[in-house]
Chains A and B, each alone.
Chain A
Amino acid sequence: MSGFRDSASGSQPYKDPTPLPDSVPRVQELGVTSAPLKSAAFFIGAYCKEYNEDFMLCKNEGRGDPGQCLKEGRRVTRCATDLINKMRENCLEQFDAHWNCLELNNQEYYACRKPERTLNKCMFEKLGLTKTVPGTPVGKKQIHEVENPIYTTVQR
């Protein structure tokens, strides 16, 4: 990816010289890094389905103008923050175990099924959310529920 970095202020981190104007309402950005987000991804999909779909449809018809979908974007951020807070309140140990396992395994889901099962169980009991993979063929089991998967960490 090419980018222009102004070399005059190389010692400080990059600071955007043109931030959003004050007329745009502020939303607290989500400070969660990649591994916990990957762990919570399917639950965000289940919990925030309407807001996410709203945003994607708005972007689809927007034809590249970022200013049109700011409201839907704020809603998406707020919903995801809400879910992360709820997850941390209710299922903190299982959540931490799962994303730590992901970090040790190149962030691959297939390597961390055991912590994932405990996390799914906890999320279902406390918050009523299930993980469903949208593209699974009808009639086949969800890949995270298959007992003896073909692709594991150990080469067979």
Chain B
Amino acid sequence: MPVPWEALIPFGLLTSMFAAAGTLLNVSKRAQNQGKPVRYHIDSWDEMMMDRDRRLTGHLRGQSSNPVPPEGFETSSAWYTEATS
């Protein structure tokens, strides 16, 4: 008896659409984070440290263990212009 395989095409389409969307989202998130998983549960301290990382390396997720900072690091902080209260 012939199996009605054409009826399974929509299921295959749905599965592949979900898989493609999920993969694309994951790849996009990782590409925005330099190949690392996304950071979650970020509080103000983490935001401040990530801003400091951006001033040091150019990217929010960039890391370096070099104790010597790049030129202009000492004057690139916008902290003084933040509102105090």
Contact = CB atoms under 8 A, between A and B. Distances in A.
B78 interface: yes
A16 B75 contact: yes
Given A1-B82, A13-B55, A30-B69, 13 more contacts: A2-B83, A3-B78, A3-B81, A16-B77, A30-B67, A31-B70, A32-B64, A32-B67, A33-B49, A33-B53, A34-B50, A36-B64, A105-B37
B63 interface: yes
Nearest to A1: B82
A95 B81 contact: no
User: Secondary structure of the A side of the interface?
Assistant: loop
Interface in B33-69: 36-37, 39-41, 44, 46-47, 49-50, 52-53, 55-57, 61-69
A155 to B, nearest CB: 15
